[in-house]
Amino acid sequence: MADRTESSILINAAPGKVLDVIADFEAYPQWAAQVKRTSVLSEEGDGWADRVEFTLDAGMLQDTYSLDYEWDIADNGTGVVSWTLVKATVLRAMDGSYTLASDKAGTKVTYRLAVDLTIPVLGLLKRKAEKAIVDTALKELKKRVEG
């Protein structure tokens, strides 16, 4: 699963503010249109969620899945939040990351995503769907942080 989709956006806010929105999983259904429900299943004493369950309704793709998170974050909020799929019905893999970097105008957020499904899908269609997911997620994140 070496193929992945990547895109970036500039958000007019400090990295810590962007990170706060990314880490607030309970609020995702309020601003991430395709996420219908979330539940933090586990977190260690550091306050960061380690495993989160999502219910997704993206039209033809509907699934409830769990992701394991890794937080490689500096004190100023820059760094990488990454995840890997643990359990799902339709998804076979969903590995991704947000990279947050300081920029003079705020925070540059780069989103990388690789998805694989249990049902056969042409590679071109899968990449197109990934691109739509990544672009929508970045725009919704920007709107939530700046709004």
Q: What is the residue-wise DSSP string for 125-139?
A: HHHHHHHHHHHHHHH
Beta bridge partners of residue 5, listed in sequence order: 113
pLDDT at 1: 43
Q: Which long-range contacts link 50-53 to residues 24+ away (Cβ below 8 Å)?
A: 51/86, 52/25
* Cα–Cα distances in angstroms (integers) from residue 127 to residues 59, 111, 120, 134, in the given order: 16, 14, 13, 10
CATH number, domain at 72?
Answer: 3.30.530.20
Give pLDDT, residue 122.
59
Q: Are 57 and 51 in contact (CB under 8 A)?
A: no
- pLDDT (tens place) for every residue of the chain, 147 residues total: 447 789 999 999 999 999 999 999 999 999 998 899 999 999 987 789 999 999 988 777 788 999 999 999 999 999 999 999 999 988 888 899 999 999 999 999 999 998 877 666 656 666 677 677 788 899 999 999 998
> What is the pTM for the complete model shown?
0.89
pLDDT value at position 93? 83
Instruction: Print the domain residue range for 138.
Output: 5-146
Q: Tell me how many domains the chain contains.
A: 1
- pLDDT value for 120: 66
pLDDT of residue 92: 84
Look at residue 2 in the predicted model and tell me its pLDDT. 46
